[in-house]
Chains A and B, each alone.
Chain A
Amino acid sequence: MLVRIKYRKTSAGRFMSHLDLLRTIERIFRRAGLPMAFSEGFNPHPKVSFGSALAVGITSDAEYLDVELREEFPLDQLRERLDVAVPSGIEIMEIRQLQTRTRSLTAQINMARYRVYVPLAEKMEASELEQLIQKAMVQPTFIVTRDGKKGKRQVDIKNGIYKLEGRLDEDYIILQIDVQTGSEGNIRPEEVVEMLRKTGDLYLREGLQIHRLGLYVREEAAIKTPLEI
């Protein structure tokens, strides 16, 4: 059977790299007594696929993975068994059975929503913040430099920022942002903060905290979660 699982990454979970996670998922299923399907060939590996990768250090409320099992299980039993098999820092939120193998999660997911805590070094008024966000968002382009395998690259991120909202909480700006993610382009929340910093000549302190609120499939008509499609 094929299932899609939504899970959270908290505390220690956020420090797990993609490779750590891959190994851990296999162990979770084995502990839960849920036999995973393996690929054929010389070096078989479990059939798991992940949604968009999450950088080490970021917590998340909504990560997704698809897993194929060799046997059928009722969903509530699946849930029960997984709950005791996950390590602290990973929490199962929801499980849905997929009837047929659809497009992979990475091919479907194209938008991410983040909450970002930006520590300010100087005081700021709510109206200033509002103006700053407006000013940043009306710019036609914003170029960032990324380190790639073939050296530095210039990328325009502006088109990939779908939504940017912010409010002040003492000496923090709390941002909520919707950005493009997935195979078509991936915008990092730090880059959006950089855009604000440059546009408004902000002075920031160290200690940016990023939290992923969700991953979505954004289409003309609507924004859906990977469990809704």
Chain B
Amino acid sequence: MAAKQNQENLPVVLVYRRPQFNLPHRNRLSRHFILLDPADSQEPTSSFLSTYAQSVRALLCVGYSTITSETLSLLPSLELIVACSAGVDHIDLQECHRRGIAITNASVAFAEDVADLAVGLLIDVLRKISGADRFVRGGLWPVMGDYPLGSKLGGKRVGIVGFGSIGSEVAKRLVAFGCSIAYNSRRRKPSVPFPYHANVRGLAADSDILILCCALTEETHHMINEGVMTSLGKEGVIINVGRGSLIDEKELVQFLVQGKIGGAGLDVFENEPDVPKELFSLDNVVLSPHRAVFTPESLEALIDLTSANLKAFFSNKPLKSLVEIEL
């Protein structure tokens, strides 16, 4: 009896997900919140929301299920969206801003793992690790002799695009390898000890390597274009752990195929899980199936962070990972 009463006092959280995305921490969350999950119901989502979600103040967005202004219009009491991803480009940010809906993301939970993968992809591209591994597995070493030389990482100039929690973890790691760091961000960050470039093309001109760690927005869509890649140059390497559409992918493929750029390490693509086939025959490209955050440790950290954000919200305390939206 007491348990049921406690249940009724718990705050309500709307779980918003496409049916194929699971909620790994349902049990943990159910101890503290009443979970409303339209994907569990046979009713179409819009009528479910209209019936049951009118007074819902908080929404937990699982995976990158899109939240449109139509959806938001069915949630008149919504004040908070807790995203389970680093990127929030799947949410109608303009509408949230207009409505005063706060958004928290998960970059902080993932930052180390994403940074680790960015560095791993970079070393792989420069030192040809995946290519050399294929060479050995294919039995080619005794037949063909030494593998072609790679390129040294130490002393290279790294340009980090987006200096948030992920970008700063990348910088911290690469400094230990003897790289010099510069960055581009929406605004110069006074606490960051590295040179700032106001635009990406300028950063590319001064860099041997570009690492993309920024959010996907209207401004950053196809930010890595023909001009930037030309500025980066023939030996330049691009690592993308942000979103596929930060790069003009068609242009990138052309640059790689024609040898106008040195190489690329990509965890994300414009049209996942489709990857341009021309890349499969290239040895100076390392491809990853959007796995930057998928370690058990990151997922645990994600669960902790999203729970913490929800708890903070319902006890009127400051949110843990509020996203600053700039429009």
* A and B interact physically: no
